[in-house]
Amino acid sequence: MSTTRALDGIDETLAPQGRRERNLIYEWLSTVDHKKIGILYIVYSLIFLLIAGFEAMLMRIQLAVPDNHFVSPQTFNELFTMHGTTMVFFVGMPILFGFGNYLVPLMIGARDMAFPRLNAFSFWISAFAGLLLYFSYFGGSGLYAAGSAPSVGWFAYAPLTAKVFSPGHSTDYWTLAIFLSGIGSIGAAVNFVTTIVCMRCKGMRFGRMPLLVWLYLVTACLVFVAVSPLTAAQIMLTLDRYLGAHFFDTQAGGSAVLWMHFFWIFGHPEVYILVLPAFGFASEIIPVFSRKAIFGYPAMVGATVAIGFISLGVWAHHMFTVGLGPSANTFFVFATMVISVPTGIKIFNWLATIWGGKLIFKTPMLFSIAFLFQFLIGGLTGIMLSVAPFDWQLGNSYFVVAHFHYILVGAILSMIFAAFYYWYPKMTGRMLSETIGKWHFWLFIIGFHLTFDFMHIPGLLGMPRRIYTYEANRGWGTLNMIVSIGAAIQAISILIFAYNLVHSYFKGKAAGHDPWDAWTLEWSTPSPPPDYNFAVEPAVNSRRPLWDLKHPDDPDSDYE
Amino acid sequence: MMSAAAIHTAGAPGGRETPWRQPYRGTVGMACLIAAEASIFIIFVVAYIFYIGKSLSGPTPAEVLELPIFGTICLLSSSITVHFAVSALRKGNLRGCTLNLAGTVLLGLIFLGSTAQEWYHLIHDDGLTIQTNLFGTTYYSLVGLHASHVVVGLILLSLTLAFCLMGRVKQEHAEKLETLSLYWHFVDGVWVVVFLVVYVLGR
């Protein structure tokens, strides 16, 4: 797919100006450009991805064989706490905010986000939060002593987080890190909504926005109502720990279950905050590599909004084992099942987009196809777990761990990889290597399925999550060994991916503006785009402005 | 073959030339912030309601709380004065704007003073602190969270007032002042909820 002639013309107006030499570090530290901040988010998340992945590997080594003592029990508790917290707050959210920051203004034909300085603030406060979390390794017991990381689990159930049970400062670092990352997320979300509502280019009505922009709009709205409760709960926990308040203090009549409610009111919509941008990537990539317009655009938008609303009413399916009573259980069982309807609409629309298309199996498409299947399976085990009696058997088992990793890794991470292969050329001006990409893809898929397919079985056999080790006579040994081998293969594939990112930055094929012959506005700018994005503000007539430009005889606007 | 400017002129359809207008970004941004803040308050209000009557020891709200009528009237009136300030600025009436802003700041300060007096009374005379019982925990955190928002609002309003007195505020800043007034209305609205929950429902 070569650059079309139509786009060569645009390049002339945007020929890169002679750039003044500037201090590189100063430029990146002080930038308010949405593209640079987007890249900062992405690079920062990738570093945390390597750290949290390393923690996962240590846990898998520990669990590979029975009666193992590779790490101490205390270290193991710290590892799963840090792994979960890092992956959700310092990998998942920031990497998606990073792509959104980079892509949303370009896709709606704007020159920057609505509040560039707030944007920089949101990034740096999130970055600081991540550093604060890891500083607990040094300062967790106070600066004078050897530190320790928090070991309360990523959902930090009360009353374990009370001062008596978690002395020292490690839990406070956890609380502060989540609190600050929440502020950063809310700032970013304010920016996304305002940018999308107020800065669309001429003709970009809501019904013409790329689906990715729609998905970020809904994600950002979810951040307001989901992340804020967690922020409030962290304020309460801090009051408990420092001022002697009793919110979650069971000794003084406080309720541990209240924390669970507050946490999961955040926790479940959070899953959708992470997965909706992945849906957005899929909705951009699958049409381009199927050479067809997205199937059922209005249904996709409707399903997205429906998912956003329903996701706010399902949180207590994380709490079936608490004993909520039959009526609450029934409500949350049905609410959870209902959410699979709009999700199903999405899957069918992606399949219908692929159906009859002229498929091109480049790496982004490979990851998208993997996403479709893996997301489906993760969704189906989700429906199994939504049945309260089934959940009573398997809640807090490795079955649950396998289920949510199927979504987080199999669906979200796969789509993030797809997004990297698809937009890396736009961000850097270089293509990622297809050969290395294929190695990355196949190793990742093999590793993923070895790990997470087999992880369901020890769960069904009764292996609880978060156990430090297990006896040999349980019969979980072989399965855990397979899971750990799969994890090692995934780790290798991620290192290959990291190598590809660096290697292709220097040695990659030049990308041109539009290497995929795509249809959304970001591909009309040079790669990487200039600071101002568009020399002249664009105007659009349809959902696929570049299609209209490349096919003036048969524009989309005739059909929409 | 297409010209360079093709994509930029591709819009502007021949027939229907509707003006392209989008909302003011300050208003939208503030609405988003208010949505996020409202969620935080909802969680604190839920905690308050959940813990009504669950304290293991006294004092109870019925024993110690009195209706803060005067402070409430002052805070709610400040919503009206800030509204007058915005509409005065929109008409170019800078003097009216400054006076109404000063009134708003004054009324806000009186409200804070009445809260401070109430807390002094509770802590000093009734011995109720955040550590005493669940009522103290939820009361001080909910009312304190609201008061901290009043403080933030007052800082912003005082800054604006200072700019007014320096003659830096012009008619074209009306939209910005309106954005700030939205925040102040929100703070007042939250107080209505806090008042109903703490002093009516919880007593």
- Mutate which of B25, B34, B52 to test chain A, going by most A C-beta atoms within 10 A? B25
Residue type, B64: V
Q: Is A104 on the interface with B (CB under 8 A)?
A: no
Q: Which of A524, A381, A370 is nearest to A455 (CA)?
A: A381
Model confidence at A3: pLDDT above 90: no
- The distance of B148 to chain A (nearest Cα, Å) reads 13
- The distance of B13 to chain A (nearest Cα, Å) reads 8
Taking CB atoms and an 8 Å limit, are B25 and A199 in contact across chains? yes
- The distance of A505 to chain B (nearest Cα, Å) reads 29
Q: Which CATH superfamily is domain B25-201 in?
A: Cytochrome c oxidase, subunit III, four-helix bundle (1.20.120.80)
Taking CB atoms and an 8 Å limit, are B130 and A224 in contact across chains? no
Taking CB atoms and an 8 Å limit, are A5 and B1 in contact across chains? yes
Is A485 a member of any domain?
Answer: yes
Taking CB atoms and an 8 Å limit, are B32 and A194 in contact across chains? yes
- A185: nearest CA in chain B? B36
Average pLDDT, chain B: 91
Taking CB atoms and an 8 Å limit, are A198 and B23 in contact across chains? yes
How many H helices and E strands in chain B? Answer: 7, 0
User: CATH number, domain at A412?
Assistant: 1.20.210.10
**Cα gap A149→A134, rounded to integer Å:** 7
Q: Which of A450, A439, A437 is nearest to A410 (CA)?
A: A450
Cβ-Cβ contacts under 8 Å, B60 against chain A: none
At A393-412, the pLDDT tens digits run 999 999 999 999 999 999 99
Instruction: Locate A191 and state its tokens.
Output: 């920016």
Non-local (6+) Cβ contacts of A314 within 8 A are: A268, A332, A335, A336, A339
- The answer to whether the CB of A101 falls within 8 A of the CB of A119 is yes
- The answer to whether the CB of A336 falls within 8 A of the CB of A379 is no
**Overall average pLDDT of the A194-216 stretch:** 95
Is A335 a member of any domain?
Answer: yes
Q: What DSSP designation does A513 have?
A: S
- pLDDT number for residue B16: 55
pLDDT band at B32 (very low <50, low <70, confident <90, very high): very high
pLDDT band at A66 (very low <50, low <70, confident <90, very high): very high
Q: Is A15 on the interface with B (CB under 8 A)?
A: no
Q: Is A560 on the interface with B (CB under 8 A)?
A: no
Is A231 a member of any domain?
Answer: yes
At A509-549, the pLDDT tens digits run 999 999 999 999 999 999 999 999 998 989 999 999 999 99
Residues 129-188 of B with CB under 8 A from A: 130-131, 133-134, 136-138, 140-141, 145
**Cα gap A487→A483, rounded to integer Å:** 6
At A327-366, the pLDDT tens digits run 999 999 999 999 999 999 999 999 999 999 999 999 999 9
- B48: nearest CA in chain A? A247
A308-314 contacts, C-beta under 8 A, 24 or more apart:
A308/A218, A308/A221, A308/A222, A308/A272, A308/A276, A310/A335, A310/A338, A310/A339, A310/A342, A311/A222, A311/A268, A311/A269, A311/A271, A311/A272, A311/A339, A312/A222, A312/A225, A312/A226, A312/A265, A312/A269, A314/A268, A314/A339
Q: Is B49 on the interface with A (CB under 8 A)?
A: no
Could you tell me the residue range of the domain that residue A128 belongs to?
34-550
- pLDDT number for residue A560: 80
**Cα gap A429→A180, rounded to integer Å:** 34
**Backbone torsions φ then ψ of A36, nearest 5 degrees:** -65, -40
CB nearest to A114's CB, from B9, B29, B140: B29
Question: Mind spelling out the 3-state secondary structure of B57-84?
Answer: CCCCHHHHCCCCHHHHHHHHHHHHHHHH
**Cα gap A488→B90, rounded to integer Å:** 65
Non-local (6+) Cβ contacts of A243 within 8 A are: B130, B131
Instruction: Locate B135 and state its tokens.
Output: 């009522």
Instruction: Locate A174 and state its tokens.
Output: 């956890």
Q: Is A549 on the interface with B (CB under 8 A)?
A: yes
Q: What DSSP designation does A433 have?
A: P
At B97-106, the pLDDT tens digits run 999 999 999 9
Q: Is B4 on the interface with A (CB under 8 A)?
A: yes
Taking CB atoms and an 8 Å limit, are B24 and A245 in contact across chains? no
Is A560 a member of any domain?
Answer: no
- The distance of B95 to chain A (nearest Cα, Å) reads 31
Q: Domain total for chain A?
A: 1
Question: Looking at this predicted complex, what is its ipTM?
Answer: 0.93
**Overall average pLDDT of the B172-195 stretch:** 96
Is A9 a member of any domain?
Answer: no
Model confidence at A139: pLDDT above 50: yes
- The distance of B130 to chain A (nearest Cα, Å) reads 6
pLDDT band at A558 (very low <50, low <70, confident <90, very high): confident
Q: How large is the greatest C-alpha to C-alpha distance in chain B, in angstroms? A: 85
- The distance of B4 to chain A (nearest Cα, Å) reads 4
Model confidence at A18: pLDDT above 80: no
- pLDDT number for residue B19: 82
Per-domain residue ranges of chain B: 25-201
B10-15 contacts, C-beta under 8 A, 24 or more apart:
B10/A538, B10/A539, B10/A540, B10/A541, B10/A545, B10/A548, B10/A549, B11/A201, B11/A202, B11/A203, B11/A538, B11/A539, B11/A540, B11/A541, B12/A202, B12/A203, B12/A539, B13/A541, B13/A557
First to last CA, chain A: 26
Taking CB atoms and an 8 Å limit, are A247 and B47 in contact across chains? yes
Non-local (6+) Cβ contacts of A61 within 8 A are: A68, A70, A484
Cβ-Cβ contacts under 8 Å, B131 against chain A: 243-246
- The distance of A330 to chain B (nearest Cα, Å) reads 22
pLDDT band at B60 (very low <50, low <70, confident <90, very high): very high
Q: Is B22 on the interface with A (CB under 8 A)?
A: yes
Residues 481-520 of A with CB under 8 A from B: none
**Cα gap A340→A79, rounded to integer Å:** 33
Cβ-Cβ contacts under 8 Å, B50 against chain A: 255, 258
**Overall average pLDDT of the A65-82 stretch:** 95
At A153-183, the pLDDT tens digits run 999 999 999 988 888 888 999 999 999 999 9
